[in-house]
Amino acid sequence: MLAITLHLLAAVIWVGGMFFAYMALRPAASFLEPSLRLPLWSQTFRRFFPWVWVSVITLLASGFWIIKQYGGMGEVGPHVHIMLLLGLIMMLMFMHVFFAPHKKLGRAVESQDWETGAKALNQIRLLISINLMLGLITTVVGSAGQYY
């Protein structure tokens, strides 16, 4: 029961954070000049991404713990295999965002290079939109997949 609870909370934090950022903060911040918008996003990611790292670690640990409780990968349904695959893709995409465009955004904001920062933010926006869609699909597969 603890593993499922941790798994659900980690997924809600990560996917919910992406949903908020993409559906609420992005449109609200679009009215700001780059000199205000880019530092806002940089600081938002600086506070959110540590939670994503905790979520990634928690999802992996709790997910494999749950699979072990069911007897291993050979004993779980196809929805678990799909959830794991999509989750791993999401984690790899997040790591790319974290180590490449997010770092570029931070450096651009520090040097007030708004053009480079805007390009980095646009790349992050695109990758987060893909990850959000994958996260919503993974949530449906993980929670209701056994009923399909």
Instruction: Note the pLDDT of residue 68.
Output: 97
Residue 1: DSSP 8-state:
-
C-alpha–C-alpha distance, residues 144 and 44, integer Å = 32
Instruction: Note the pLDDT of residue 37.
Output: 98
Instruction: Note the pLDDT of residue 146.
Output: 85
- If we measure between CA atoms, which residue out of 86, 81, 54 comes closest to residue 67? 81
C-alpha–C-alpha distance, residues 65 and 88, integer Å = 16
Instruction: Note the pLDDT of residue 147.
Output: 87
DSSP string, 16-85: HHHHHIIIIIHHHHTTS-HHHHHHHHHHHHHHHHHHHHHHHHHHHHHHHHHHHHTTSGGGS-HHHHHHHH
Instruction: Note the pLDDT of residue 34.
Output: 97
- If we measure between CA atoms, which residue out of 14, 15, 146, 5 comes closest to residue 63? 5
Instruction: Note the pLDDT of residue 145.
Output: 86
Q: Tens of pLDDT along 87-106?
A: 999 999 999 999 999 999 99
Q: What is the pLDDT along the chain (148 residues), one digit of tens a residue?
A: 999 999 999 999 999 999 999 999 999 999 999 999 999 999 999 999 999 999 999 999 999 999 999 999 999 999 999 999 999 999 999 999 999 999 999 999 999 999 999 999 999 999 999 999 999 999 999 999 888 8
